[in-house]
Amino acid sequence: MPQTILNFNIETTNEKLTPRTGVAIFGEYLKGMNLEALCNTNIPLAKHPNGYTPFEFIYPLILMLHSGGRVLDDIKEIRLDSALSLLLKMKNIPTAGAFTKYLHRHAALGTDGVRNINKQFLKRFLKSLKNEELILDIDATFIEAHKNTAKWSYKDAPGYMPMVGHINSGYVIDVDFREGNEAPASKNLEFLKQCQAQLPFSVKFDRFRADSASYQAAIFNHCDKENIFFTVTAKKNKNVFDSIKDIKDDDWQTFSKREKVAEFMHTMCDTDNAFRMIVIKKDITPTLPTLKGYIGDEVMMQYQDEIYYCIATNDNNLSPQEIIKLHRQRGETSENKIKELKNGFNMSYLPTSNTQANAFYFLIGTLAYNLFLMFKQILDTNLQKHTIKTIRYKLYNIAGKVVSHARGLILKVNEQFQNLLQKIRYRAYEESLK
């Protein structure tokens, strides 16, 4: 008889077990949020009367992404989880091949449909912000994809360059899924207006933040007309550097241990109004005076670029220090949230060679991400700041057993988790009534 290291045996059981008890609780939350009606209303129904409904595609796919699935073929883990299917009453779960065909068949209409669903959930999310300023952050992100139709980007790799818009706590308000060869600075004003169109009537953005790709006169003029405060990382051209040189030593104020700050008024050729230019001077190793005569203009410009960081803004109410702190928050609200979307929900992987089908899939990923943000609002405070990876470890991957009785189903879990899961279910029910 073969020997083993530890003294235990492995046997089979016909009991309905699941390693995804927390996913079942999340799935119940989704049904309370009326996701089924939203999917079947906004996404085209199958022409065949016995075909899968849009909800029967979207629902298990969202559960798969929350469970940690990376590729479409991972949907089989949801299909094989009979306990989860029984709890959530999922009678029909499509195969990976059926999902691929579905993404191709409904690519453009599906993308618009998921955008409309996100818009409906946005109204609920905005109520949770209460009296906070509404801040829009936009940023392009590169997804490397070695598909035969993917275009090469400036990153020296083929892929896609979606533009993502976040508000406040990271809710993805909209996405413009772009080819990899499209510049990050392309159509940013159009995307800003696209994000504005997602807002409910009478709701407006208070602030707009972006990197240097949005350092454009048209965007500044639009923000001025719409009474939106902007803070945008500025491009440092010769005119900007000349103005920096004119700043007197006494005008520099200490901002941090290795940074000083000053400001001046600036304008561009096509801007309607002048704007403030906040300059951060970083303490780095200085060049030797004797070398300046031997350094070319291009090298000297690169050296100056490392020293100075500039922020353009039309906000005349906040101090330079407050502007800097506000602008740097976009690293958490936008850049880190995009990492969560790409890595936590595996949107760095796209399933097909069809751009529109990939856009549909990416929009489903953003819906899964947005629903995660909303779901966290009903969790205990100590869980609300966690990423999806930690929530999987602490909540989603709790083991459970489903027992069928004539009066209904019983989900059995370890005693230490019973109170936690029941509290979430109560809160989910209360949320469904709003």
The enclosing domain of 232 has a CATH number of 3.90.350.10
Q: Do the Cβ atoms of 73 and 325 come closer than 8 Å?
A: no
Q: Which of these ranges, 122-131, 157-166, 347-356, has the smallest mean pLDDT?
A: 122-131
User: Does residue 211 share a domain with residue 120?
Assistant: yes
User: Does residue 100 share a domain with residue 143?
Assistant: no
Q: Which of 344, 367, 399 is the C-terminal boundary of a domain? A: 344
Q: Which domain holds residue 364?
A: 16-107+351-432
User: Does residue 222 share a domain with residue 126?
Assistant: yes
Which tens digit of pLDDT belongs to each residue from 290-344? 555 555 555 555 556 568 899 999 999 999 999 999 999 987 778 889 999 999 9
pLDDT tops 70 at residue 1: no
User: Does residue 126 share a domain with residue 58?
Assistant: no
Is residue 356 one of the residues assigned to a domain?
Answer: yes
User: Does residue 302 share a domain with residue 369?
Assistant: no
Q: Do the Cβ atoms of 349 and 356 come closer than 8 Å?
A: no
User: Does residue 261 share a domain with residue 158?
Assistant: yes
Total domains present in the chain: 2
What number of other Cβ atoms are within 10 A of residue 292's Cβ? 10
User: Does residue 168 share a domain with residue 85?
Assistant: no
pTM of model > 0.75: yes
Q: Which of 299, 317, 344 is the C-terminal boundary of a domain? A: 344
Is residue 5 one of the residues assigned to a domain?
Answer: no
pLDDT tops 90 at residue 276: yes
* Two structure tokens written together for 319: 């101090």
User: Does residue 325 share a domain with residue 371?
Assistant: no
User: Does residue 160 share a domain with residue 81?
Assistant: no
User: Does residue 123 share a domain with residue 91?
Assistant: no
Rounded mean pLDDT of the chain?
92
Is residue 201 one of the residues assigned to a domain?
Answer: yes
Q: Which of 344, 369, 398 is the C-terminal boundary of a domain? A: 344
Which tens digit of pLDDT belongs to each residue from 32-85? 999 999 999 999 988 887 889 999 999 999 999 999 999 999 999 999 999 999
Is residue 2 one of the residues assigned to a domain?
Answer: no
User: Does residue 311 share a domain with residue 235?
Assistant: yes
User: Does residue 155 share a domain with residue 62?
Assistant: no
